[in-house]
Chains A and B, each alone.
Chain A
């Protein structure tokens, strides 16, 4: 079954994760942001925390120090910045 969201998590020098998911939650600068299919287009800054990607029953977590997230037409791009 294909999942509705296309997710790509990128760092400056490589792609950390890419694939399909049905729910993404991220620690936006002014409160947690949960993204389901059909969400409006958003460009949000992230604060330290974890980005959670749920694909079927699996939940994958990515720690984030800083970065941003863009959501458009069910395509989620998370850019992880800052020094690791």
Chain B
């Protein structure tokens, strides 16, 4: 009898320790979201400026540039999957990887051959476990993306896009990342960044059309120089969005875990109280029946 009481006490103590851990992780995630969003905001003007410039060149200059036209010589396409380095973020990694698998299935259906580039340890582990070849991987700092990482990814992808078929050239580049919509909503997104589909930044109807620009030295050269920057901007933005989403998911997951730990503690406390009461009742009845036996 005393045994079951002790077991409940132990469970309550261990759950309390877990609760403290969950609570701490929740608070850490919450405090980092602010920083992640501030970082994303300070990178936004660059992304905006580049996107606007690229749209201006692409719409006003009739340039036939290798980066804007479809490549027909290979059916290999690059897929960049942006995951987190750690779990403990609810369905964040799972739903992103599901989206990545869906994209790959679709590409294969279209007769293309996806090749994987993965950022984040969770994604690397996922594909490694399934023995899927990855061309290149990047890990570390998934919740605070560095410009250097973004640059590295951009250069690698652009190199693959420009490479000849024999050297692992690809005809398209897709990114799978999680878009941060709000603190409670993040959704996996797939975007094709090359060949160019200028979607973001295209002037919505009703606003002033893009001005007619004079290009110096020439539209082709300008586009040539802009595109690497554009790819960098798109990748950096995706990394920022993914980081904010990861932290928001982790905060929510840890909040739920804290609540669940509290529920468990409450249940165990009730059970421990019942066990204690049962023990007391039994002791009393033992004493009373002993006294009765002596008196009788």
- A residues lining the B interface (CB < 8 Å): 8, 10-15, 28-30, 33, 40-45, 66, 68, 70, 72-73, 77, 79, 81, 83
Is B39 in contact with A13, judged by CB distance below 8 angstroms?
yes
Q: Does A68 lie within 8 Å of B225, measured CB to CB? A: yes
7 nearest CB pairs, A to B: A44-B216, A41-B211, A42-B214, A43-B213, A14-B42, A10-B46, A10-B45
The answer on a CB contact under 8 Å between B43 and A14 is yes
CB distance from A20 to the nearest CB of B (A): 16
Excluding A12-B232, A14-B43, A77-B52, 8 further A-B contacts by CB distance (< 8 Å) are A8-B49, A12-B147, A29-B221, A41-B214, A42-B216, A45-B216, A45-B221, A73-B211
Which one of B43, B45, B236 has the greatest number of beta carbons of chain A within 10 Å?
B45
Q: Write out the residue numbers on chain A whose beta carbons fall within 8 Å of the beta carbon of B150.
A: 12
Min CB distance B39 to A, Å, is 7
For the complex, give the distance between the alpha carbons of A30 and B225 in Å.
14
* B53 & A68 in contact (Cβ 8 Å cutoff): yes
Query: Who on chain A is nearest to B232 by CB?
Result: A12
Which of A15, A42, A72, A73 contacts B42 (CB under 8 A)? A15
- Taking a contact as CB atoms under 8 Å apart, the answer to whether B43 and A43 are in contact is no
Q: Are A33 and B216 in contact (CB under 8 A)?
A: yes
The reply on B24 being an interface residue by CB < 8 A is no
Are B216 and A28 in touch, CB under 8 angstroms? Answer: yes
The complex places the Cα of A28 from the Cα of B215 at a distance, in Å, of 11
Minimum C-beta distance from A18 to chain B (A): 8
With A13-B43, A29-B221, A43-B222 given, is the CB distance from A72 to B211 under 8 Å? yes
A79 / chain B contacts, CB cutoff of 8 Å: 46, 49-50, 53, 229
Is the beta-carbon distance between B46 and A11 smaller than 8 angstroms?
A: yes
